[in-house]
Structure 1
């Protein structure tokens, strides 16, 4: 009897520490800061980008996207905002959905985090995903576009090295979300900080904790996540691009 009573409490503690199986998403602590890390396998998980519904209107909110996926016979198990956007929800940079580009690749430096070169592109093509620096992506896919792609910036990790402009003592603290990909292109790590963090700390998580050789910042103040298995469906201002994982 005592064992039966203690086991649920023990499992709850382990799950909170990120040491117990909790599906694709786990709370993990890195350098005393909490993050939600959701890991997917491109060979098993259907990872897609979404922007507009059948009427051409941006989904904007996770519940609208979840309802659409359900109407198609699927189940949205995860979603996160997936790149910067204008007031009308148009992507700031490259956006490709099902091989069709809505916005073109932005190659030049510019204002804000997006324009802090090198920036990059998160892409999915077949059973492979990647995070590529913008000019490398341009060369890599010069003959044919990937199935999905979203451009954002700055890059956080580039071939195992942190973005050179990131400051370990940076005072800009925000909730942040981003994506990293394993060296073989099959493991995709979506991460959102549970507390405000600086860029350098966020980038180190991908490099040192997740062993992702390339990682991309997606956004900051508007960062939101949808994980129904954890009863999380964060709302707020309408979003632009959304990355989601579907299961039948």
Structure 2
């Protein structure tokens, strides 16, 4: 949990910035698309968007509260965070995982069961100059220099087209979360559905509502969001990889 004194300092700092700079757009906003609610959180090139798995002692973080605690000694906090890809029962990433330029799990390019193996799947990459979503086999052939990266699947939007296996009338409905990237790579938008939706509906939100030509599914059913500025702190069992936007406390 965030300590009350620290939370108060953040609130006061935020109010001071707002008074000095005028209205500020929220990092996370909830909207409706085709009758269903979604929350979208935006990071921009130059923002401190990170992936988290283990603490300094190698112990699984697994929760938003533990990530916040790990950031506290550096006087930093999470602006928002969500689960960042599929994981094994011991919380190890299923596919490629890179944290601070160190590869902790290798890329998987073969077709397989479940959502992860529904090719094409992809890799979300935090680049020095922005963000990208790469198809996994293309990534493996020419790996870019990612500071952070997570592999998941399936791809939701591929060069502006929906994944070919998505069905408009599918009755497979779940809470889902994913990440999309703008055409210029300057924005990454992390999205969670606030009601159960199909893959087709979820992918259309990225393409048609947000105008993002590339998007990657992160997970479903266990999907959770941490966004204190909008009063959101979803809870559940420990997670594997977590993605979050980090900012200084003041």
Partner Cα distance (2:141, 2:190) in 1: 25
In the alignment, structure 2 segments of 5+ residues that lack a partner are 1-22
Q: Which residue of 2 aligns with 1:140?
A: 142
Check whether the contact 2:52–2:242 (CA below 8 A) recurs between aligned residues. Answer: yes
Deviations 1:30-64 (CA, angstroms, capped at 9, x unpaired): 11110001112122x21011100011111111001
Query: Could you say which residue in structure 1 is the equivalent of 2:133?
Result: 131
Counterparts of residues 60-139 of structure 1 (less than 5 Å): 60-139=62-141
Q: Which structure 1 residue ranges, 4+ long, deviate > 3 Å from structure 2?
A: none
CA RMSD of aligned residues (A): 1.2
In structure 2, the residue matched to 1:14 is none
Given the two structures, how large is their TM-score scaled by the length of structure 2? 0.88
Shift of 1:138: 1.7
* Contact 1:84–1:219 (8 Å) recurs in 2: yes
Cα deviation 1:163-211 (Å, max 9, x = unaligned):
0000111111000000000001011110000000000000000011111
Listed as ranges, the matches of 1:9-28 within 5 Å are 23-28=26-31
Aligned match of 1:31: 34
Q: Is the 8 A contact 1:124 1:149 kept in 2?
A: yes
Write the distance in 2 (CA, Å) between the matches of 1:170 and 1:57.
39
- Compute the displacement of 1:116 (Å): 0.2
Q: Deviations over 1:122-179 (max 9, x none)?
A: 00011311111101212331xx641110000000000010000001111110000000
Give the equivalent residue in structure 2 for 1:52: 54
- What CA distance in whole angstroms lies between the structure 2 residues aligned with 1:235 and 1:54? 23
Mapped contact 2:111–2:117 kept (Cα < 8 A) = yes
Deviation per residue, 1:100-135 (Å, 9 max, x gap): 111100000011000000000000011311111101
Partner of 1:42: 45
